[in-house]
Amino acid sequence: MAAMSCANCSLQYYSQLNQPLEASCMLLLIMLGKVSLNLFMLRVRRRDVKQSFMGYFCISLALLDFTLLVNIAFISYFEDFALWGVRFTKYHICLFTQIISLMYGVLYYPVCLVSVLDYYMTIAQTPKPASIGQRLLYILAVVFIWISVLFYILKVPAVSAELEIQNHFFTCPFYISVQSYWLSLAILFVIGVALVICWSEVITMVRSVRIISFTSVTVLIFSYASDCDCTVCKKQLLTRLLICFLGTWTPFVFLQMIILLLGAQIPAYMEMNVPWLYFINSFLIATAYWFRCHDIQLTEGMWSADSFVSWKFCFIPFNNQNTEQAEKPGTVIIC
């Protein structure tokens, strides 16, 4: 089947002719693994994390994946049945997955845009529990984005026509998101540029690290002292942000590099997942800290914006003469 032309759809379209619908069993296993991974990532995140738009969106994505898994399992078990006057067959497994893939494929840019605006406006605010109004605003924003993307997908003429063709010929295509490709490329490019700029600082700081045990907790001590305060010297701040980010997400960075180098074509329903979104989330938080560094207040509650990365190290002054004697050797990170 020829490639689908879809203006402003930001998707690449691939299909396999005569793909058997028995592949629903494989799809069921894939979705089961993805749902398990989503639930695991939601479970291991820090409990004191500050509520944000990205957090609510990750929960909604996990719920939608679970709903798709239940539908696939239900249709696979009964194979051919009618519900509320609508006949469901194995073809609908493919149809539902196609629609979900199309939705996931165009969600990267709007989700990242809303999330970075959320962090930019709230990252420097005095930390406090989210109010009911703020939680409701996040929920409404998530629901609005999902509904808007669904209507956008169903209203694109090329997509609707292609789905009708698939219904007639019983083919099951895969959708590859161009947005995901360019987003991964942009993140890796920014990390690479930051490494080039701060390479000497990163090497010096990493060489100064010492690992000790403090009250039965593993502690990293950076005895290296920088020449300027992190809120004044942005190069020092960039170095610390880079160390914190790569200290948690280095395996994921290498995974993205391998995927891009191999040109792997991952279907959108697999590619958008909770771990990938949390990786993007940490990158967006680091970006917000970079632009709002002069407005950051050094309070304990400020460091709960990220579910996995502790950014406190980035804003603790290395040469603070007013700190206690225990803090004078350098900066401490509790892992």
Query: What's the CA gap between 33 and 275, in Å, rounded?
Result: 13
CB 231 within 8 A of CB 237: yes
Query: What's the CA gap between 251 and 257, in Å, rounded?
Result: 10
The predicted-structure confidence for 193-246, as pLDDT tens digits, reads as follows: 999 988 887 787 777 666 655 555 555 555 555 555 544 467 777 888 888 888
Q: Which two three-digit tokens encode residue 317?
A: 């002054």
Helices (H) and strands (E) in the chain, counts: 10, 7
Query: What's the CA gap between 142 and 184, in Å, rounded?
Result: 22
pLDDT at site 185: 94
pTM of structure: 0.79
Q: Each residue of 213-248: b (16+ CB within 10 Å) or e?
A: eeeeeeebbbeeebeeebbeeeebbbbbbbbbbbeb
Rg (CA), the chain: 23
Q: Which two three-digit tokens encode residue 121?
A: 């406006």
Query: What's the CA gap between 100 and 24, in Å, rounded?
Result: 15
Selected residue with higher pLDDT from 332 and 149: 149
Query: What's the CA gap between 31 and 100, in Å, rounded?
Result: 12
pLDDT at site 188: 95
DSSP 84-131: TTEEE-THHHHHHHHHHHHHHHTTHHHHHHHHHHHHHHHTTSPP-PPP
- Specify whether the backbone of 64 is left (phi greater than 0), alpha (psi in -120 to 50) or beta: alpha
**Strand 209-214, strand 217-222: pairing:** antiparallel
Selected residue with higher pLDDT from 307 and 270: 270
Residue 329 has pLDDT above 50, yes or no: no
Strand partners, 332: 221
Which of 176-180, 218-222, 272-276, 296-300 ranks highest by mean pLDDT?
A: 272-276
